[in-house]
């Protein structure tokens, strides 16, 4: 993992990912991404024709578990 870096949402909602991140994840120009909303933020996941790796599946399950735990701490009334 790299050092956290602050990004800015630019005109039209654009953000620029650091070159090191783009290279690490193989994000070329026009790479489609899926946005996954969580309670604490968003995840950007490249959309590829490759099946999801077990590592990514496990990481997503961990994020989902954290979201479920966080949600259980709050009570909502309709």
C-beta of residue 68 within 8 angstroms of C-beta of residue 60? no
| pLDDT tens per residue, range 3-41 | 678 899 999 999 999 999 999 888 999 999 988 887 777
Q: Element (H or E) spanning 34, and its range? A: strand 33-37
DSSP assignment of 37-77: E-SS-EEEEE--SSPPPHHHHHHHHHHHHHHHHHHHT----
Domain-by-domain residue ranges, the chain?
11-72
pTM assigned to the model:
0.58
d(CA 20, CA 55): 21
């Amino acid at each position: 993992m790299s050092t956290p870096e602050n990004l800015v949402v630019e005109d039209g909602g654009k953000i620029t990912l650091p070159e090191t991140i783009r290279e690490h994840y193989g994000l070329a120009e026009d790479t489609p991404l899926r946005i996954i909303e969580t309670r604490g933020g968003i995840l950007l996941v490249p959309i590829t024709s490759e099946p999801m790796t077990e590592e990514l599946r496990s990481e997503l399950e961990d994020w989902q578990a954290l979201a479920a735990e966080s949600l259980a701490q709050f009570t909502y009334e309709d």
